[in-house]
Amino acid sequence: MPDAPGPGKPSLRDSARAAHYADFASGPSNEPAKPQDQPVGQDQESEPAPSSSEAVTVFPHPDNTRYYLGGQANSIGQVNASFHSPYEGPNSFLPGVHPKASYLGTFYSAIQPHRNIRYNTDLIVDAESTGGRGLSQALGLAGFTNLDVVRNPNLSSAPYLARGEIHQTFGLTNQMVDAERTPISLATKVPLRRFEFRIGKMTMPDLFDLNPVGSDSHLQFTNWTVDNQGAWDYAADTRGYTIAAVLEYDDRNWSARYGFAAMPILPNGIELDWAFSRARGQNMEFELDKSLIPGRHGETRILSYVNKAHMGIYKDAINNYLTGVTPTPEIDYNKPFGTIKYGFDWNNWQELTSDLRIFSRFGWNEGAHESYAYTEVDQSVSFGGDYNLSRWHQPNDKVGVAFVSNAIKKYHQLYLAYGGLGFILGDGHLNYGRENIVETYFTHHVGSGLFISAGLSHVANPGYNRDRGPVWVPMLRAHVDF
């Protein structure tokens, strides 16, 4: 197998983070935004509004400007306790106690050259820098414990372009609704019915599979398969970005979106394949804004995806090994071009009280083709919740707990059991069991945009291997929003 860069994805879920910030600034809302009558074409500068993020950022971000300038810095420190490990392979999670720390810094910038309310344009340019390392070089766990880690040691920590996109809104009605201002969407009022189009460099989880309870490694959980759906092998390079176009339709209480994106040339590689006839990622999502509890807020998303890329087939790799063609199963040996991988995801969150929210996800993919762009998961189920400490006069503090259970299909299991290596997993042997993870965190707002967090994860059957583990991983995190 060639040296494929690691699967770590920076967690920049701005839409979900906006909901999180709104909670911190003013407490959870029990009612969705209501339509408002407003003359079409009126400039937003005529109605300035206080920013909901002022209380939780170093610098205020007024809602009535044509531009957005901001940033964030996130550092996560983790260490795993020693655990039972009778054998290890090239891609194993290691039992030695070796503390690791990561950092992720982002500069956000956006401007509205055209700001008629019904037809609004955002130009978005974000720069980013990553550094540090993850435990065991981010190997050995399908649900790795630090989403901010990028596992390619050859990548520089020099700043790079994270996002460079055009966001265009086309209104279909004069009726307006309030919108949360974020670094990737500056409008504070949008048409109730509208199309939104984006094109450029972006990360697909900015728009798909969002969940305000479990989508943000900066202030919430840090596990890859809690913050994202592990079975969603979304199109991305090593750092989590791609070149894509996304079209979205929004109505009163539902939305639908379609995304077309470039796939990496190598599994989780840094270079993208521009031959869309042979490699592409397609994502379709339906979102229903409907609560199961009267007077509370809740949403459900159903996502499906189809990837076409130069992916290997686990069954073929096993047959090559059993017939002596290769000394071990090699997923990259003589693999065909243009193979197809597909799957789906169910995603829900629900407000139970003004302080308590819960979430759940279920994801599945066909599992016959190699895990290619995100992590080695063919099925995943997760659930959890968070609790706001406003009753203790700490409205900016939260505690959360989540459980996720990951699995892989039969031929994926056999591939690893015979000594095959994925881009994340490979103990040299496998006594299969589901990888079950529990994670908890507590986030405290120190003040002026500074947050500190403490957390703890427990991983049973790391890398789907009953012979190894369990693993305990404590976490400390510092986060600043500018």
How far from chain centre, in Å, is Cα 46? 36
pLDDT at position 310: 94
Phi, psi angles (nearest 5°) of residue 329? -60, 125
Please give the Cα distance from 11 to 150 (Å, whole number): 11
Separation between Cα atoms, residue 308 and residue 316, nearest integer Å: 18
Q: Provide, rounded to the nearest whole percent, the portion of the chain with pLDDT above 70.
A: 88
Which pLDDT score is estimated for 64?
Answer: 87
**Nearest-CA neighbor of 87 among 427, 462, 424, 328?**
427
| Stated length of the chain | 482
Q: How far apart (Å, rounded) are the C-alpha atoms in residues 22 and 422?
A: 40
For position 11, what pLDDT does the model report?
A: 38
Query: Smallest Cα–Cα separation from 78: which of 148, 142, 152, 8?
Result: 148
Cα 424 to Cα 280: distance, rounded to the nearest angstrom: 22
Single-letter residue type at 19: A
Q: For residue 307, what is the enclosing H or E element?
A: strand 298-309
The class (CATH top level) of 14-481 is mainly beta
If you average pLDDT over residues 427-456, what whole number do you get?
96
Question: For 50-82, what is each residue's pLDDT tens digit?
Answer: 344 446 889 888 888 999 999 999 999 999 999
Least confident of 12-16, 169-173, 185-189, 226-230: 12-16
- CB atoms under 10 Å from CB of 450, counted, come to 15
| CA atoms 411, 417, 420, 426: torsion sign | positive
Encode burial over 383-420: b for 16+ CB neighbours within 10 A, e otherwise.
bbbbbbbbeeeebbbbbbbbbbbbbbbebbbbbbbbbb
pLDDT tens string 317-356: 999 999 999 999 999 998 888 899 999 999 999 999 999 9
The residue with greater pLDDT, 433 or 447, is 433
Main-chain phi, psi angles of 318, to 5 degrees: -65, -45
Cα separation of the two ends of the chain: 42
More confident residue, 39 or 71: 71
DSSP summary character for residue 43? B
Q: Which two tokens stand for residue 311?
A: 């992916």
| Cβ atoms 205, 13 nearer than 8 A | yes
Q: What is the rounded CA–CA span in Å between residue 148 and residue 7?
A: 10
Q: Is the pLDDT of residue 23 over 70?
A: no
pLDDT score recorded for residue 96: 86
pTM here is: 0.88
Confidence of residue 97 (pLDDT cuts 50, 70, 90): confident
C-alpha 181 chain-centroid distance: 20
Cis bond before residue 470 (omega within 30° of 0): yes
Amino acid at 25: A
Which of 266, 481, 276 is CA-nearest to residue 372? 266
CA 115 – CA 378 distance, rounded (Å): 43
Task: Give residue-wise pLDDT tens across range 262-281.
Answer: 999 999 889 999 999 999 99
Give SS3 for 44.
helix
